[in-house]
Amino acid sequence: MIDIKILRRSPEAIVEMLRKRNMDFPVQDVIELDKKMRNIKTELDRLRGELNTASKRIGIKKAKGENVDEELKILKELSDRVSVLEDEFRAVEGELNCLLLKIPNIPHESVPAGKSSEDNVEVKRWGSPPEFDFDPLPHWEIGKKIGILDFERGAKISGSGFTLYTGLGARLEFALISFMLDLHTKEHGYKEVLTPFMVNEKSMITTGQLPKFKEDMYKIEGEDMYLIPTAEVPVTNIHRDEILPEESLPIKYVAYSPCFRLEAGSYGQDVRGIIRQHQFNKVELVKFSHPETSYDELESLLEDAEYVLKKLGLHYRVVVLCTGDLGFSSAKTYDIEVWLPSQKTYKEISSVSNFEDFQARRGNIRFRDSTGRVRYLHTLNGSGLAVGRTVAAILENYQQKDGSVRIPDVLVPYMHGIKEIKG
């Protein structure tokens, strides 16, 4: 949630921000509701003052044995008026908050202007694409040939967008999860947490999934519960409604979780394989940072996610998202895109974002600084990494002419010594 003071101070800046984000939003409605709410509050404060004065006057008269019928009548009228205004205030406040929850975050000044992913800016590359003396196959064909991905039975069990991992496919998935958790805890200093995989509505509002992306969420019918779209949601809500000591920052968490997304709309070229699924595994990195150092933390978070791909020997590039492609809650996002030889293209495998105080305001997550002042902290998160997409990248980049797939050296201990998967 953006700071309402910014909108009051310079509404034109919010209008311009929304224009850069390709959003048409009734900013004037927000301004008018805010003004109406403040006017009601002013009147409420005045009437409550009169109520207080009237009550004291009645007390004095009663002590003197004087008649207070007229004062009681006035007190009743004031109380009724206050009650009506309180109801009106709550209604306007609710309407205003509903609109504020739909306003995206303000992009950081370093975010490039643009309308779509075509305008994202590449900032670096690591490694080189592998060279093959044969035509590389897509991961879904490889997975079927070596018997580790069963799309037909996955669809039979649950429907389209679900995959059954079998044998060494399941082993590879869990090997990657264990490897990533070990890397981030032992080398990068994150604290591992295992969270619930269902959260309440308030948790989803905190991170920005609701109300904006309700159509993409799995709701538990009849309950205030949603299946999580990412571990970012429960992990960020660990400190909801808390005031943290300044010296505890930054706090760094890593969490494995399954992720559940309806993924409304067309998948395009990702309709096949395991790039875009309704259920997938992910290792998530979340930071709670001091506002003054959050952009340094963003750069280190990016390096932590990149390091996974470096250890796996997978070629990738990093792009910074433009204003038109920036996520709803983010102030700045880097996407790490891994190389997929079969498509001769890069595919997102991690998004690393700084939300500044946007999520902290929604979740009331604060810290007390050295002067005793209570302030909103900054939240950040990044995939470290999306596991299914990492499996896809390994299958494609490590495929061999005989149809087998070599296991990256760093994963061999997690695969119980197995160095390749054969059909």
The catalytic site residues sit at: 261, 276, 348, 351, 389
* C-alpha–C-alpha distance, residues 84 and 78, integer Å: 10
Order the strands of the 121-126 sheet from edge to edge: 121-126, 316-320, 332-340, 345-354, 378-386, 279-289, 251-260, 191-192
Tokens representing 179? Answer: 């490897």
Tokens representing 313? Answer: 């020997």
* C-alpha–C-alpha distance, residues 279 and 245, integer Å: 37
Preceding omega of 291 cis (within 30 degrees of 0)? no
User: What residues have CB less than 8 Å from 282, skipping those under 6 apart?
Assistant: 230, 231, 256, 257, 258, 259, 383, 385, 386, 387
* C-alpha–C-alpha distance, residues 141 and 263, integer Å: 23
- Per the CB < 8 A criterion, the answer to whether 401 and 134 are in contact is yes
Which ranges of 22-126 would DSSP assign to H, the alpha helix? 27-63, 69-100
User: What residues have CB less than 8 Å from 358, skipping those under 6 apart?
Assistant: 1, 2, 105, 208, 329, 330, 331, 379
* C-alpha–C-alpha distance, residues 273 and 40, integer Å: 56
